[in-house]
Chains A and B, each alone.
Chain A
């Protein structure tokens, strides 16, 4: 404990704490056991007077504040002191609100409160005010990879906010897929007619901007660093390479159209069978005059649009998902014909017409109004006919199979994301093999062949792969409904159809959102602040190199690929890439990784600070390590509902279950705890853990703790890990009480001292 640390302990007597607890005893414990410099009680600590009292002490030299009052989630405006470390002993939601107000319960309730004071005093002793590393500076320069409409929009929007941008585009011109279009789906009311693509306008604005630099025929061949200090090599076709420094990166690498040649049932060799981009080319060539079919140049009189071609299908090689824009795109394309000749027959063969939102339904109605024919049906095949492609299809609403010839058939094929190779596929494959999931192994092996054939987009110099992690089907989307820009590579945001299938309107919104996040990453990394979800956190993992055994667990387990290896194969923490979950801290077998305000010691000492009654007391002690985002709030809410749970538990909130180091458990069991419950978030495919892998890692680590227990000659039932949610307000107290019952059944731990 540093000499300049001065701890003040403040105990509140409001909200019934004074009546239900012996606060003098709490104060005494803080002083004698917690060894705090000063301890005070207050009738109403969160009142202005209470807060002023604490502030006065801070100005008198208190550097660490221990507040024994309500939950750390309550009264945050009042207990908001800058420049000091704060620990909160949860006496209200954690003690009196979950215990009955009876004489019988009084003793155990008091013991609970006593322990929370001990724990918080111990915790705060090992906390310091975090300081940033100063590893990165303020570089107001964004790298945008991809010069399609998404990349162009991102660049312009960021430039409008005053940031410099470099666009790296593989092709010889900007515009991407949108540049190949004749017109686009309208994005403004009244949503009735195809609109100008807007590419020319964007290109002009980019050319006119002194903040945007464009590299054409160029790719990114190496990216290293972290937010606030990215360095990227931009290689041009000419052979020259430029290295530039960036604060953040936007990947807008777009999509590739699904290869229609794979749809052999639709006669892809037929010149008069085209995909949507093929029709755009024909429309562009016609430029408002009659659209001519490729085979013989005949002006098209009768065109069929086959929706969901090779999409929404479970057939091998097809896309299982819906590409979202294709219904509106086909309507738009049918209008191309109607606009110069309303008598041209245009038929859209669909199963579900998907034109959502305010604009979408208007556009659908406008298509109908322009006499585009919509048939609910499924195309079986396309074969060469006498006058044009012959289509056999089922009309689902007339229950009949029809064969009809058209001049031209347009296949609405899907979007394939243009993402780089999935960095985690090999790891997933290895895991599936280990678990002997044979079906999954086959699928993953096929995927691996495909992924390996892909060129890297970012060429990240990261320990965990060259490219952005994928969510599903190759898309680099976030897994969180509430946080679409949650990224697993801090400071790098993907936008547009590489992230998720989308139309131009959504892509432009997405591009703007991603530009905001890039700007935010630049501003925050310069200040050493963490990105979402621990936004603003200044702590970052600190590492004691001497103790490191180079086991690499931290570099492998970091969910955000934040940790590289240096030349001597030691882990290299990148502050600005880190999200402060502490998974590395939980992983480290030699416990050399810690944060200033959250460490192996700050939690470990709190665990040890609990008073363990002897074996014959019939007062077991159960440690609960609860995810601070879900399990802990659920416990608070259980308390607000005045649910009761066992007085023998001691709850410690953790940043993520992934940060739980097994030493905490072994220490707890060694020091006489009778049981431990770990409460984390849902893991697996539909994970809810906001640090992606934290809960999963914890479950994995705890699956091995059985051996430790056996070695200690303890029953394996003494340690449980649960997946819970913030809504488990009734279930979590039950879980805790069940553990208390289990202990009652199997008996007290023999490790009491």
Chain B
């Protein structure tokens, strides 16, 4: 059984991405007791799936390493993985949470030696790589996964492969009879750091993500660029493995659009500006990027990066929301159709039908969790984000549960949320003397 100590002076942080890790660490490093709950088998969240950050073009796993080291070193943090909060009751300073823990089928004996993965044959789509490749049924989600412990895919349970995995383990780490658990936890304050999910590109019919292999999403491109990713870091297009030297980026794919997400997802402009450096990184002057946009929202000092990209002759900007994508069957090149608004009034033909090797949809950011449906007594706006409202009591959002935020602002927000939670805890502590 999973055992954790929780009192009404405990802060529960839901979500182990960068916002949740930050909120947990900042509170724990102030001396508070924190339980960090993560739905996936390991910490890291969306940013661990990114190749680079804007605007520095540095690597997210660098910060992840620091945060993991802080977590490993901090006795104030208890971590629950494969865990989901299913119900919350009570009020500020006195919450009760129900947490469901899915079986990992591997216990803490695991040394991450990899013998089980070597032993099994069955494979499943690799969710860490947005299903762009396959992984084994016994697997470590990614190289930096923490807890550094393998997972048995539940779909493998009951198969001969599962028994092979068990037989291969010398450390009695595999327990195929592990059952789901339900925990009841106390908490004084709750931080919802459940993050975001990419908008489902299939819904944007005119862009044919569901029909054309060479139309991909921005998050998939990040995985493709990662040397540890599904293409081994090769920038190639899915249909034929040809180098994708000429890439189109479609902004507001699902964002700022009342048909899809009506809010602006904030990050996508900067994300595409960042990604426009990828073809150049791989192919030098032969790499080409074209960004189709409505407004380039390179806010505050991100503007410096925008100007840097504008100065790069391999990057082209077209002010236009792309109307539709068609396919050149012979070349498998997607063709973008639309009107270039900056040609308006010039007497030149505004229309374009531009073929590119690969199209990247800068997909929008939507909250991972439907907070309204969870009935948590929270103030949730039409966009689905948790508002900062005193009526929320001792529950706070951190990061992208509060708004569409870039990493820097998500961490800033998570740090603030840690204090908001501490305020509740300190009040409880004072009241209890």
Interface residues of A (CB under 8 A from B): 14-16, 44, 46-47, 70, 73-77, 157-158, 160-162, 187-190, 312, 314, 320-324, 352-362, 395-400, 472-473, 475, 477, 479-485, 500-502, 506, 509-510, 512-513, 515-517, 519-520, 523-524, 532-533, 535-536, 629-630, 633, 637, 640-641, 681-682, 686, 688, 690, 725-727, 729-730
Contact = CB atoms under 8 A, between A and B. Distances in A.
A15 B419 contact: no
Interface residues of B, number: 90
Given A361-B264, A519-B422, A727 B227 contact: yes
B62 interface: yes
Most chain B beta carbons < 10 A, residue from A73, A161, A475 = A161
A532 B21 CA distance: 14
B416 A726 contact: no
Given A189-B387, A688-B62, A727-B59, A161 B419 contact: yes
Contacts of A312: 303, 307
Contacts of B64: 482
B250 interface: no
Contacts of A532: 29, 66, 70
A76 B108 CA distance: 12
A189 B56 contact: no
Nearest to B301: A321
A606 to B, nearest CB: 21
Contacts of A158: 419
A190 B380 CA distance: 11
A682 B57 CA distance: 11
A519 B30 contact: yes
B299 interface: yes
Contacts of B303: 312, 320-322
B266 interface: yes
Contacts, number: 258
Given A162-B430, A322-B298, A482 B18 contact: yes
Contacts of A47: 109, 171
Given A397-B342, A501-B300, A501-B301, A516 B416 contact: yes
In the A-B complex, the 3 residue pairs with the closest CB atoms = A482-B63, A399-B345, A512-B416
Contacts of B51: 727
A640 B140 CA distance: 10
Contacts of B405: 357
A356 B342 CA distance: 23
Most chain B beta carbons < 10 A, residue from A190, A358, A532 = A358
Contacts of A70: 111
Interface in B18-70: 18, 25-26, 29-31, 47, 51, 53, 56-67, 69-70
A358 B59 contact: no
Nearest to A533: B66
Contacts of B72: 76-77
B33 to A, nearest CB: 14
B148 interface: yes
B389 A188 contact: yes
Nearest to B381: A189
A286 to B, nearest CB: 30
Nearest to B58: A688
B235 interface: no
Contact of A356 (B297, B341, B388, B389): B297
25 contacts: A44-B171, A75-B111, A77-B108, A188-B389, A320-B303, A320-B307, A322-B301, A397-B341, A398-B344, A472-B304, A473-B301, A477-B301, A480-B63, A481-B58, A482-B64, A485-B415, A500-B300, A500-B301, A509-B412, A513-B415, A532-B66, A533-B69, A533-B70, A686-B57, A688-B62
B383 interface: yes
B191 interface: no
A352 B67 CA distance: 36
A690 B381 contact: no
A629 B65 CA distance: 7
A320 B304 contact: yes
Nearest to B405: A357
A536 B385 contact: no
A27 B212 CA distance: 61
B295 interface: yes
Given A516-B416, A533-B66, A506 B409 contact: yes
Contacts of A727: 51, 59, 61, 226-228
A324 B298 CA distance: 9
A324 B299 contact: yes
Contacts of B246: none
A500 B302 CA distance: 10
